[in-house]
Amino acid sequence: MKMPKTTLSILLAVVVVVLVAVGARLLVWSGGEHSTIASIGGPFTLVNQDGRTVTDQDFRGRWMLIYFGYTFCPDVCPTSLSVAAQAMDKLAPAEQKQLVPVFVTVDPARDTPPVMKDYVGAFHPAMVGLTGDEAQVQAAMKAYKVYGAKAKGGDAQSYTVDHSSILYLVGPDGRFVQHFPHGTNADEVVAALKKHLK
């Protein structure tokens, strides 16, 4: 049996389109860490530990290792921020200059700039602490898909806040690159950072 030439070329065209589509799909998948959670991160306007308003634009050109939590946190936040600080210390000085560890509070009512300043300073001299008004903090949390809610019990000063515990790596262009779940150790973070830092 002989197929007409036009049918054959249509078939060929369909095959080519399918192959290109599959190829494009595979490319997207191979960039998994970027594509699947590409909607994490984005613009923010917050207040740093010196009381100055800063935006995500102020960090362009440097990598950010961002963590959301609160200074009254009994153990989860200190553990994660220690990992960020240890990772920073394990980098060469030239690499350290390309990275800023950033702590964003989910509890702006208690975490004022002076409170943040004392807190981040205790972890690492390069660490930036960001707070803001309720709306600014909520917007930043929403951008990073961070969960945070006051736990029941406790009074106005002693309440705890349930929150997600994730380190986010953001590139010098402001785009989210990858995250490290709670429990990732400093060596694992450093290994990931070394792939990106020059």
Nearer Cβ to Ni ion (76/91): 76
Identify the DSSP state of 151. P
Number of residues that bind Ni ion (CB under 5 A): 4
Interface segment toward Ni ion; rule CB under 5 A; list 54-62, 74-82, 147-155, 169-177 = 74-82
Among 66, 73, 85, 104, binds Ni ion (CB under 5 A): 73
List the beta bridge partners of residue 166. 181
CA distance 104 to 46: 9
- Angle (CA) 166-171-172 rounded to 5° is 140
Minimum distance of Ni ion from residue 167's CB (angstroms):
12
Non-local CB neighbours of 145 within 8 Å, separated by 6+ positions:
39, 40
Taking CB atoms within 8 Å and a gap of at least 24, the contacts of 119-124 are: 119/71, 120/49, 120/81, 121/49, 123/81, 123/82, 123/84, 123/85, 124/84, 124/85, 124/88, 124/89
Binding track, positions 130-159, relative to Ni ion; x by CB under 5 A: ------------------------------
Nearer Cβ to Ni ion (86/160): 160
Picking from 32, 33, 36, 49, the residue whose alpha carbon sits closest to that of residue 131 is 49
Minimum distance of Ni ion from residue 106's CB (angstroms):
8
Minimum distance of Ni ion from residue 26's CB (angstroms):
39
**What tokens appear for 50 in the block?**
């010196």
Nearer Cβ to Ni ion (106/128): 106
Among 37, 54, 76, 143, binds Ni ion (CB under 5 A): 76
Nearer Cβ to Ni ion (73/189): 73
- Where does residue 4 rank: exposed (0-12), middle (13-18), buried (19+ CB within 10 A)? exposed
Among 69, 108, 129, 132, binds Ni ion (CB under 5 A): 69
Interface segment toward Ni ion; rule CB under 5 A; list 15-23, 71-79, 135-143, 188-196 = 71-79
Among 40, 47, 77, 193, binds Ni ion (CB under 5 A): 77
Binding site for Ni ion (CB under 5 A): 69, 73, 76-77
